[in-house]
Each structure stands twice: as C-alpha cells, then as structure tokens.
C-alpha cells in the first residue's frame, strides 16, 4: 500500500519544517542577514508554540487577508488566543487598508449582500459583475471594520509577505518552490538527495544578489502585466549584477520584454530592447523586426 496519503505523525510537522528552514538560513546566510531579519528569527523562536504554528499555517496559505473563522486547525484550538502575540508584534494587523477586491475575495456573495445592503448589484449574478459595479464608488481602500462594521469575527492581514518571500528565496534559491514542499517531502511525494553545501555553493553570495533577484522578479511580473516598455527597460537595466547567473536571468527577461513589445506591435521599442539583450535568440528577433519594418540593410549588418 502506498504511503503517499499518510499524514506525518507529528501534528506540528509543518512548524518543525519551517523552523528547520530558519535554522538553515541562519547558519548558511548569517553574513547576509540584516538587523530586522535577525530580530525576526529571535522573536519567532520566543513566541508561544501555538502562535508559531498559526503564523506558519498562514504563511503557507494564500493571503494576505484571513478571517478567523476560516483558520480551523485541530492542533490550534483557540485561534484568537494564538493570534494575540502576533498582533502585538505587528506581524498581524487588523487596521491595514483593504481594497474592495480583497474584501470580495474574503466573502461569499450572500455575505457581501449584508456588507452592501441596498447597494446596486448590476445586471449579472456573479461576484465579478457586482465587483465591477461597485468599483467606481469604492475605489479607495479602508479598514475592514469600516467595510463591515457588523462583522462578527476578526480579520487579520499578515504583514510579513515580502519578508517571508525573501527568506523563502534564500532557502530554496528560487521563488518557484514554496513552504508546502516540506509537506510533500514528508509524504514522500518529493524525494531529494542529501547534498553537502559549503559557502561557495550558495545561490547568493551577497545581499545585493538577493535584492537583484527580487527586483528582477518584480520586473518580470510587471512585464507580464503589460507595463510600459520604456519604463521596464530602465528598470531591468537597473538590475545589473556581477553574478553571472543573475545576469543571465536579466538577459532572459529582456528577451521576454522584447517579445511583449512585438506582440503589441511596438516595433521601435522591441528594437531598443533587443539591442541591449545578449540572451540567445535576441539577435534573430531583432533581424525579424527590422525585416518587418523593411529596414533590410540594417537587418543584413
């Protein structure tokens, strides 16, 4: 019989895995941690066990907003009590501004009918239609208590999103993997070979490397969201790094930007991007754009 569906015996396995990751980061990247990150490691270790468990549960889920009633875990019987130390540290917040889209993500349509009693619902029956109808009149974010004064439960925002992302990047060396992979490894779904790492084999040798990776990731998301090509070219150019691996990632992102310019028929922008891109295929794409513009002599150079 397969063991894939067997839950790990220890009920706080996810917390122990997260603590193991933090210990690994503290050991391998101690020279790259700043004061805030060192303080987080110390404060996290000093938290009550159930508060640590709750925070890890929240970091492993899609956030950043959570309703207390949706955080149901047998091993954390009193969610609000576990949340109290996190609120005291500012790691959870009830007063952070919330956008209308975030409010809609938290509630069902019937619950939203209570929040917006008497409001115009538009012609559609879907939440997305109603959201579009209300968006114009509710463009400004506000506290959850202002959105829903009659709420019967607390709603918390996790304030450690970017911080957690940086730690995850240091541990995995990328942002494709996430903390849930520990669970899958415990279940036997993922199997990893044990490999010894020395300081020279770290993904990041300087703090600037980590900053550059995160900046490139933000640029990539902006490119996918259709940001202005000129602004993106400047932003990507600012991500220069002495790390060859990061420079290759930067060149690949320039190629993505050039491709996006082509899809939008922004030929001059595409040429400018490809001219600065060393990634394989960029020269070929530049020639194709020149041919499309009937600038054949330049294409032959």
Per-residue pLDDT tens over the stretch 81-118: 999 999 999 999 999 999 999 999 999 988 998 888 87
**88 vs 178, more confident:** 88
Asked whether the predicted pLDDT for residue 3 surpasses 50, the reply is no
* Residue 195 within a domain: no
Best CA proximity match to 63, nearest among 22, 93, 38: 93
Q: Is the pLDDT of residue 9 over 80?
A: no
Any domain includes 6: no
Is residue 142, in this structure, part of any structural domain at all?
yes
**Shared domain check, 279 and 239:** yes
179 and 31 in a single domain? The answer is yes
- 237: domain range? 207-300
Q: Is residue 140 part of a domain?
A: yes
Same domain, yes or no, for 60 and 163? yes
Distance, in Å, from the CA atom of 49 to the CA atom of 32, rounded to the nearest integer, reads: 27
In this predicted model, which residue has the larger pLDDT, 79 or 295? Answer: 79
The stretches of the chain forming alpha helices (DSSP H) are 13-28, 35-46, 49-59, 79-89, 100-106, 109-115, 127-135, 144-147, 161-172, 180-187, 207-224, 229-237, 244-263, 267-275, 282-292, 296-300
- Which residue pairs from 177-186 have beta carbons closer than 8 angstroms and sit at least 24 positions apart in sequence? 178/60, 179/14, 179/17, 179/18, 179/21, 179/56, 179/59, 179/60, 180/60, 182/13, 182/14, 182/17, 182/18, 182/21, 183/8, 183/13, 183/14, 183/17, 186/8, 186/13, 186/17
Query: Do residue 88 and residue 111 come from a single domain?
Result: no
pTM: 0.83
Domain membership flag for residue 135: yes
Q: Assess whether 82 and 177 both reside in one domain.
A: yes
Which pair of structure tokens corresponds to residue 195? 């490999």
- Over residues 191-215, the pLDDT tens digits come to 545 555 666 678 899 999 999 999 9
Considering the domain architecture, whether residues 21 and 48 belong to the same structural domain is answered as yes
The answer to whether residue 43 is domain-embedded is: yes
Same domain? For 25 and 52 the reply is yes
* 117 within some domain: yes
Instruction: Indicate the pLDDT class of residue 182, thresholds 50, 70 and 90.
Output: low
**How many distinct structural domains can be found in the chain?**
3
Say whether both 147 and 220 belong to one domain: no
- pLDDT class for 6, splitting at 50, 70, 90? very low
Residue-wise pLDDT tens digits, 252-277: 999 999 999 999 999 999 999 999 99
Q: Residue 2 falls within a domain, yes or no?
A: no
* Strand, helix or coil for residue 12: coil
31 plus 179 within the same structural domain: yes
Residue 145 and residue 170 in one domain: no
Same domain assignment for residues 83 and 137: no
State whether 166 and 147 are in the same domain. Answer: no
8 Å CB contact between 286 and 271: yes
């Amino acid at each position: 019989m397969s063991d894939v569906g067997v839950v790990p015996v220890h009920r706080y396995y996810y917390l122990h895995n997260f603590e193991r990751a933090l210990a690994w980061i503290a050991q391998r990247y101690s020279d790259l941690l700043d004061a805030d990150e060192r303080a987080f490691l110390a404060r996290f270790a000093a938290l009550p066990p159930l508060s640590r468990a709750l925070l890890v549960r929240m970091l492993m889920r899609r956030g950043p907003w959570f309703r207390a009633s949706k955080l149901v875990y047998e091993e954390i019987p009193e969610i609000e009590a576990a949340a109290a130390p996190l609120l005291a540290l500012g790691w959870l917040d009830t007063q952070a501004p919330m956008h209308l889209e975030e409010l809609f993500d938290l509630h069902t349509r019937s619950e939203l009918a209570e929040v917006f009693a008497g409001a115009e619902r538009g012609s559609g029956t879907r939440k997305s239609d109603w959201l579009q109808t209300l968006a114009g009149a509710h463009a400004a974010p506000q506290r959850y208590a202002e959105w829903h004064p009659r709420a019967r439960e607390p709603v918390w925002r996790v304030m450690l999103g970017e911080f957690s992302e940086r730690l995850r990047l240091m541990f995995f060396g990328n942002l494709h993997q996430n903390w849930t992979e520990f669970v899958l490894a415990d279940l036997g779904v993922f199997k990893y070979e044990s490999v010894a790492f020395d300081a020279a084999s770290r993904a990041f040798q300087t703090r600037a490397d980590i900053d550059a990776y995160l900046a490139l990731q933000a640029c990539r998301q902006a490119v996918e969201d259709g940001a202005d090509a000129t602004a993106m070219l400047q932003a990507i150019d600012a991500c220069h790094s002495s790390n060859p691996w990061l420079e290759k990632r930067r060149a690949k992102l320039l190629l993505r930007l050039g491709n996006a310019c082509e899809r939008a028929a922004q030929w001059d922008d595409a040429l400018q991007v490809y001219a600065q891109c060393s990634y394989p295929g960029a020269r070929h794409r530049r020639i194709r754009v020149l041919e499309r513009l009937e600038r054949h002599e330049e294409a032959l150079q």
